[in-house]
């Protein structure tokens, strides 16, 4: 809803000139009214600002006077972990003794953990470069090989090997198995070739025998068929044909 100055003046019960006279009048009376009727004073002042009688106040309401409380210290996750490992008394006793030098030499990681606790208790400043814990070398992996592998590899029962040695023994085992398989396959192939040659030779003998039997059967069949003797030619015809042949030969000689 838009601001209606006429309606606002009717609500307040005074004119802008009266409001200006009141605000610019006796300062003592104005302060007393402000102290006794703070809400009403603020309403009249706000109205005067909206009507342009006075400008906005340069002074804001002062903040309430609360007693000073020191800020509560907060801890990071690392500081909480450091405090949880060792108490302040333990840390002070540690760094005030020769033990700290011994631990620095023998177990640097433990020394740095205690120093982190000391930093959380305010005994030292944090390191500019964070300490990176060193990892101890992992123990070499070993295992006891099976009795079967030991016998195959000509090793004593209970032999312990590392990962590289185990891989070498298994590689040799696989190679032996491959060679045995190739030898067995070669023997099977040789046996098959010998058997095939034997069967082929026997088959050739059987086929030759069958061929001879067939030839004998064919000759026997030919012998069993009666001979077909052509009829004898007439002697006169035969003589005439012979004479014709002779004459043809003589004619060819004369012609030549």
For 168-208, what is each residue's pLDDT tens digit? 888 888 888 888 888 888 888 888 888 888 888 888 888 88
209 pLDDT band, cuts 50/70/90, is: confident
89 pLDDT band, cuts 50/70/90, is: very high
Whether 47 has a pLDDT exceeding 60, the answer reads yes
Q: Are residues 84 and 42 in the same domain?
A: no
Residue 82 included in any domain: yes
Residue 28 included in any domain: yes
Q: Based on the structure, what is the number of domains in the chain?
A: 3
Residue 252 included in any domain: no
% pLDDT > 70, the chain: 86
Q: Are residues 153 and 214 in the same domain?
A: yes
Q: Containing domain of residue 14, as a range? A: 5-51
Q: Are residues 40 and 85 in the same domain?
A: no
Q: Are residues 218 and 173 in the same domain?
A: yes
Whether 6 has a pLDDT exceeding 80, the answer reads no
Mean pLDDT taken over the chain = 80
Three-state helix/strand/coil letters over the chain? CCCCHHHHHHHHCCCHHHHHHHHCCCHHHHHHHHHHCHHHHHHHHHHHHHHCCCCCCCCCCCCCCCCCCCCCCCCCHHHHHHHHHCCHHHHHHHHCCCHHHHHHHHCHHHHHHHHHHHHHCCCCCCCCCCCCCCCCCCCCCEEECCHHHHHHCCCCCCCEEEHHHHHHHHHHHHHHHHHHHHHHHHHHHHHHHHHHHHHHHHHHHHHHHHHHHHHHHHHHHHHHCCCCCCCCCCHHHHHHHHHHHHHHHHHHHHHC
**What pLDDT score does 61 carry?**
57
Residue 248 included in any domain: no
Q: Are residues 47 and 100 in the same domain?
A: no
Whether 118 has a pLDDT exceeding 80, the answer reads yes
Q: Are residues 170 and 206 in the same domain?
A: yes
pTM of the model: 0.32
Q: Are residues 161 and 204 in the same domain?
A: yes
Q: Are residues 90 and 23 in the same domain?
A: no
Q: What angle do CA 84, 77, 73 make, to 5 degrees?
A: 85
Q: Are residues 34 and 84 in the same domain?
A: no
Residue 135 included in any domain: no
- Residue 50: C-alpha distances to residues 16, 56, 225 (Å): 11, 9, 154
101 pLDDT band, cuts 50/70/90, is: very high
Residue 211 included in any domain: yes
Q: What pLDDT, in 10s, does the model give residues 239-251?
A: 777 777 777 776 6
Residue 65 included in any domain: no
Q: Are residues 207 and 156 in the same domain?
A: yes
Residue 60 included in any domain: no
Q: Are residues 159 and 205 in the same domain?
A: yes
């Amino acid at each position: 809803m838009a601001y209606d100055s006429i309606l606002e003046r009717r609500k307040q019960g005074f004119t802008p000139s009266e409001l200006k006279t009141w605000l610019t009048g006796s300062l003592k009376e104005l302060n007393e009214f402000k102290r006794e009727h703070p809400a009403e004073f603020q309403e009249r002042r706000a109205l005067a600002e909206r009507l342009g009688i006075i400008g906005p106040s340069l002074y804001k309401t002062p903040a309430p006077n609360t007693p000073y409380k020191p800020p509560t210290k907060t801890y990071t996750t690392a500081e909480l972990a450091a405090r949880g490992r060792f108490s302040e008394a333990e840390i002070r006793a540690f760094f005030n003794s020769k033990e700290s030098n011994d631990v620095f030499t023998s177990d640097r990681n433990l020394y740095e953990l205690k120093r982190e606790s000391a930093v959380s208790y305010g005994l030292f400043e944090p390191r500019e470069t964070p300490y990176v814990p060193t990892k101890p070398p992992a123990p070499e992996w070993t295992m006891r090989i099976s009795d079967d592998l030991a016998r195959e590899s000509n090793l004593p029962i209970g032999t312990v090997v590392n990962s590289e040695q185990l891989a070498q023994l298994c590689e040799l085992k696989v190679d032996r198995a491959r060679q045995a398989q190739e030898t067995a396959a070669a023997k099977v192939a040789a046996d098959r070739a010998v058997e095939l040659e034997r069967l082929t030779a026997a088959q050739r003998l059987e086929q030759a025998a069958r061929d001879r039997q067939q030839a004998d059967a064919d000759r026997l069949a030919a012998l069993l068929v009666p001979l077909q003797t052509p009829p004898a030619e007439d002697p006169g015809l035969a003589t005439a044909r012979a004479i014709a042949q002779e004459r043809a030969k003589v004619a060819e000689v004369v012609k030549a």
